[in-house]
Chains A and B, each alone.
Chain A
Amino acid sequence: SQQGEEDPQALSIQEGENATMNCSYKTSINNLQWYRQNSGRGLVHLILIRSNEREKHSGRLRVTLDTSKKSSSLLITASRAADTASYFCATKDTGRRALTFGSGTRLQVQP
């Protein structure tokens, strides 16, 4: 799989349910970031977790990072219809300035 590969590619849930998206990567990283993109819009930064952190919270978002498994998960609790968007993970690889983006997870929250 590619660096920063999200799983699943698409997810459909009911409003109020939790949504979990996973990201796997291959290289050594400084940090991992999650971004959201609404249809036709630019990406918006959600949360950044550093390589020495294991879990981070921001509002209804919870991100975990397991560097031994080279994986991360994004949990959105109590989802809302407005959470409908594509979610991308991006890795800041060691020794590289640019981020590497995955292919994204399309989340659909049904009202």
Chain B
Amino acid sequence: DAGVIQSPRHEVTEMGQEVTLRCKPISGHNSLFWYRQTMMRGLELLIYFNNNVPIDDSGMPEDRFSAKMPNASFSTLKIQPSEPRDSAVYFCASRVEMDEQYFGPGTRLTVT
């Protein structure tokens, strides 16, 4: 397996633009997690899905953030409209229940 795949790896956009981050979890994993990492706040859980259903989105900072998982092999995290303070590295991770999580390489987002 190629591991958790995220795209794009880097994204630079202007304030106000829509940003869509994509994630393909490891096949057979039934839980998927979106994290954000910054120097100031560290690693924050944004939302996670179990069997494609959002379980806890309490970490989503604002209504500008939304996430979907239309099927077991794909998830998106959308920011609309984006702001400079959204600049961070966004990680996707997947796992089988109760086991260790496997992280993707991350998407480095810069909003100017």
Contacts of B45 in A (CB 8 A): 98-101
Question: How many residues belonging to A are interface residues under a CB distance threshold of 8 Å?
Answer: 22
Main secondary structure of the interface of B (DSSP, over half): strand
Closest A residue, CB atoms, query B56: A98
Say whether, besides A97-B48, A97-B50, A42 and B103 are in contact (CB < 8 Å): yes
Say whether, besides A97-B50, A97-B55, A98-B45, A45 and B102 are in contact (CB < 8 Å): yes
Residue from the list B33, B56, B101, B105 in contact with A41, Cβ < 8 A:
B105
Contact mask B44-70 → A, CB, 8 Å, 1/0? Answer: 010010100001100000000000000
Closest B residue, CB atoms, query A46: B100
Asked whether A25 is an interface residue with its Cβ less than 8 Å from the other chain, the reply is: no
Are A45 and B91 in contact, CB atoms less than 8 angstroms apart? no
Are B106 and A88 in contact, CB atoms less than 8 angstroms apart? no
